[in-house]
Amino acid sequence: MGRAPPSHDGLLNTAERKVGILSGRNPKELAMYTLMGGGLLCAVSGLVLLIVATATDFWMQYRYSGSLSNQGLWRFCVAGKCHAHTITIAFWDATRAFMLLSILSCFAGIILGLTAFSSNAKAARIRSAGITLLIAGFFALLALSVYTGVTVNFFGKRYADWRFSWSYILGWIAVILTLSSGVFHICAYMRNGSQDTTNVVSG
């Protein structure tokens, strides 16, 4: 007699076992890694935007002696010719310092987030990455807040025709991405904690 064909339920069970072997992870662990991956994507994007915003000369545009001019944290440009800021002004120094600290903190957070994938101390690395990225976002927020306040109260009164430009806008987008990355990592840390608790109870 020939062998009976496998039942529909048997095929489903076999497929489920194969999927379980291939994934090798429970839903909570998959959610944790998804949050970490999303957080790292936001962090890398935020880091790129922080660097571009800090390095470029289009934080503000205005008209000076009839010519369209622009300025960044390091230089100002009039009629297409750029010159370094020679006057030491506290708000420029503060904005530069906070932006540089934000870049360094964001880079450190990315490294911590990457090492969390292969580290035995996974929970500690995820938490450290989240806190570091939140600090990076806070530094950038301080930088942009200082620049906004001084620009509106000083340059806004000095120049009649002025506006914030794309470097400044990229800075705010970087703030959102960096803070979001920190939140993603903190959520991943909480997922990891709940997973460990479940494993202890089931054990």
Tens-digit pLDDT profile for residues 105-162 = 999 999 999 999 887 778 999 999 999 999 999 999 999 999 999 888 887 777 778 8
The whole model's pTM is what? 0.81
Q: Are 85 and 70 in contact (CB under 8 A)?
A: no
Q: Which residues contact 198 (CB under 8 A, 6 or more apart)?
A: 28
Burial class, 65, CB count within 10 angstroms (exposed 0-12 / middle 13-18 / buried 19+) = exposed
Residue 198 reports pLDDT greater than 60: no
DSSP, collapsed to helix, strand or coil, labels residue 80 as: coil
Structure tokens at 132: 């570091």
**Range from 13-27, 85-99, 156-170, 185-199 carrying the lowest mean pLDDT:** 13-27
Structure tokens at 200: 């202890």
The neighbour count for residue 123, using CB atoms within 10 Å, is 17
Q: How much is the pLDDT for 52?
A: 98
Q: How much is the pLDDT for 194?
A: 55
Helix pair 27-55, 90-115: axis angle to 10 deg: 150
The neighbour count for residue 133, using CB atoms within 10 Å, is 33
Q: Are 28 and 77 in contact (CB under 8 A)?
A: no
The neighbour count for residue 1, using CB atoms within 10 Å, is 3
- Give the CA dihedral 138, 141, 147, 150, nearest 10 degrees: -90
Q: Residue 9: which pLDDT band, with cuts at 50, 70 and 90?
A: low
Q: Residue 25: which pLDDT band, with cuts at 50, 70 and 90?
A: low
Sign of CA dihedral 171, 105, 114, 39: negative
Identity of the highest mean pLDDT range in 60-64, 86-90, 199-203: 60-64
Averaged pLDDT for residues 31-43: 95
Region for residue 24 given its phi and psi (left: phi exceeds 0; alpha: psi -120 to 50; beta: otherwise): left
